[in-house]
Structure 1
Amino acid sequence: MSSVLGIHGVRNYKAADTTPDIGSKRLRTDWLEALGSRVPGLELETAYYADLLRSERQSDELDEAELVLVEQWARAWGVDPNGVQGRATGWLRWICGQVAERSGQRPAVVEKMVRTLFPEVARYFGPGRAAVRGRVRAALLRQRPDVVIAHSLGSIVAYETLHELTDELDVKLLLTLGSPLALPHAVFPRLDPAPRDGTGTKPPGVRRWMNLSDVGDFVAVPKGQLACAFPGVEELPEISIAPVWPHGVLDYLRHRSVPEAITAGLRAE
């Protein structure tokens, strides 16, 4: 049996998740169904932290810290956020429309992602970081996985927490999906440990790190730059997982590249 720990990204809080265990079991069921039986002998668990980053805010309007992240993300797509003045809804929609043109997506889909992703990222880098990392650290030490699969914001959490556990784990494969780890200004310089001279590091307790992204994934930017920012990362060829929502973890898990990467990582010595 090979032990796998999944670390989720944004958009994972459900009202029915009244405890972390319930949320983790729900995610585990979904992930197992998506992976199917293509990698036999997997013992999968998931680390759940979505409840720690949920907002009580009634409106979906972004606050100033979140809008700053949007600006930095837009620049990574080559969009000048000063193309429209002000910070009203029209400004956000204009930026999302510009990114949609560059990514081949519908503006409404991009705007939905922005309104979902950046509030959780801002809360993680703000008051939620310690609690989220504590939750994931406990899952890593309990599971002691051979493989860690980390999606979206979860790749940031995995990266930081695995660096904490340098001498306590031996992870054969870290597989990141739709990762924003290399996103300049918004994510990369905020990482802990901080990059040195513009370069991040592979967690010492990880033998092999592979990264996979959809060609239209508007979160995984700059395209193809994660291996440049983190030497030792193997950038797998870009894939297409879903034309409507190219950032969903279940669509990533259903793609043949994921079981292929897991199998290759488990075989590596």
Structure 2
Amino acid sequence: MRLVFVHGIGGPRDADTEQEEWLRALAEGARRAGHARKVSALTRGWGVETRFAYYGDLFHRSGAQGGGAPEAAGGTAEDAAVVAELLLEVLDERLAEPGLDPGEERVLRHARARLAPAGQGQGAGEAGRRVLNALTTLASAPGLRRLGELASSRLTPTTLGQVARYLNRGEPDGSGATLDRRIRERVASCLDQDGPTVVVAHSLGTVVALETLHEHKGEVPLFVTIGSPLGIRTAVLPRTRPQPLATPECAGRWLNFWDRDDVIAARPVLEDCTRPNTARVLPRSERVDSDGLWVHPAALYLAHPAVAGPVVEALDTLAGL
């Protein structure tokens, strides 16, 4: 039996260090959820084998530049167009919210105009440059509540471009295996093929994990997604495989958590766009909020009792923590 973590977008990371951070956050959430006696088991690895499915190195391409437009960061114009679609939907979602501060609305509309100039199709022109212009506009107005993570430069065209590079199904290696296939193989190698696996996936990792689990034959009694972009109707949802979006057959339960200030989870209620598996399992989405400008990190989600509680309860049932 295993607990498998699947990370999302971002720069290079040390898998062992990241796994420890996620476990510490999960232990803190377990403590808050009233499972203090299980904290030692989580942090010391007793009772359950933990794997961190790391694939970030697969995004690296020699000569890539970290801060530019997606074309300059190892992607393509097609990748940049997907990023533009994603960012446009994020901006439109925020602009549609009631009670928006007038100053914030002005900044968001200016950023949107730079992203999708009037008279141009959404995919026309230099999409990467338009994305960069929109992010620059947001960065010039710090303090935006919902889009603070964009304004803080935590999300760049390069990191957002990882979503596009995965979903565009390109970049084959010498054997012909595309980037998305190689990433799923990394995740699949971490799953328990003979026993049950509890899967916790974050950000882009929720897309990767979902697609991997559709090919997995083992048991997954609990699938948890946090900060997921799966519901983004333009850039992500129609590109996710298989279509239509459905719960993997191996999943006995699917819990989806989102923060209202997490821009990556722009359309968070996944049960509205997902078909059940044959066991009638659908995602169950729940809002969990954290304080601060940058709320997307996995550790913030995992430290929330609503997230950690079901995970440790599932592990308790399976392994007797």
* TM range, smaller chain: 0.7 to 0.9
The amino acid of 1:228's aligned partner reads: D
Secondary structure, aligned partner of 1:90: helix
The amino acid of 2:273's aligned partner reads: A
Q: For structure 1, which segment, 46-55 or 75-84, has the greater mean C-alpha deviation from structure 2 after superposition? A: 75-84
The amino acid of 2:162's aligned partner reads: E
Aligned equivalent of 2:284, options 228, 234, 249: 234
CA distance in 1: counterparts of 2:232 and 2:20, whole angstroms: 31
**What residue is the counterpart of 1:136 in the other structure?**
187
CA distance in 2: counterparts of 1:190 and 1:106, whole angstroms: 25
**What residue is the counterpart of 2:18 in the other structure?**
27
Kept after mapping to 1: 8 A contact 2:135/2:150: no
Secondary structure, aligned partner of 2:199: strand
Kept after mapping to 1: 8 A contact 2:83/2:164: no
Secondary structure, aligned partner of 1:71: helix
Secondary structure, aligned partner of 2:253: strand
Q: How far is the alpha carbon of 1:82 from its aligned partner?
A: 6.0
Correspondence 1:202 to 2:244: no
Deviations 1:89-108 (A, max 9, x none): 4344236779x847152652
Q: How far is the alpha carbon of 1:208 from its aligned partner?
A: 0.4
Aligned equivalent of 1:67, options 69, 72, 80: 80
**What residue is the counterpart of 2:146 in the other structure?**
103
Q: How far is the alpha carbon of 1:141 from its aligned partner?
A: 3.9
Q: How far is the alpha carbon of 1:52 from its aligned partner?
A: 0.8
Q: Which runs of 5+ in 1 are unaligned?
A: 15-22
Kept after mapping to 1: 8 A contact 2:11/2:159: no
CA distance in 1: counterparts of 2:189 and 2:150, whole angstroms: 39
**What residue is the counterpart of 1:246 in the other structure?**
295
Seq. identity, %: 29
Q: TM-score, normalised by structure 1?
A: 0.81
**What residue is the counterpart of 1:20 in the other structure?**
none
CA distance in 2: counterparts of 1:268 and 1:216, whole angstroms: 33
Q: How far is the alpha carbon of 1:144 from its aligned partner?
A: 4.5
Aligned equivalent of 1:161, options 209, 212, 215: 212
Deviations 1:111-131 (A, max 9, x none): 431435322112222321011
Q: TM-score, normalised by structure 2?
A: 0.69
The correspondence of residues 44-55 of structure 1 with structure 2, limited to 5 A, is 44-55=50-61
Q: How far is the alpha carbon of 1:70 from its aligned partner?
A: 2.9
Change (3 A) 1:107 1:138: closer
Structure whose alpha-carbon radius of gyration is higher = 2
Q: Which runs of 5+ in 2 are unaligned?
A: 39-46, 72-76, 96-108, 118-125, 172-178, 276-281
Kept after mapping to 1: 8 A contact 2:9/2:160: no
The amino acid of 2:88's aligned partner reads: R
Kept after mapping to 2: 8 A contact 1:133/1:157: yes
CA distance in 1: counterparts of 2:149 and 2:165, whole angstroms: 27
Kept after mapping to 2: 8 A contact 1:5/1:149: yes
CA distance in 2: counterparts of 1:82 and 1:211, whole angstroms: 29
Kept after mapping to 2: 8 A contact 1:171/1:206: yes
Deviations 1:64-104 (A, max 9, x none): 33431232123323167761247354344236779x84715
Secondary structure, aligned partner of 2:294: coil
**What residue is the counterpart of 2:133 in the other structure?**
90
Q: For structure 1, which segment, 32-41 or 209-218, has the greater mean C-alpha deviation from structure 2 after superposition? A: 32-41
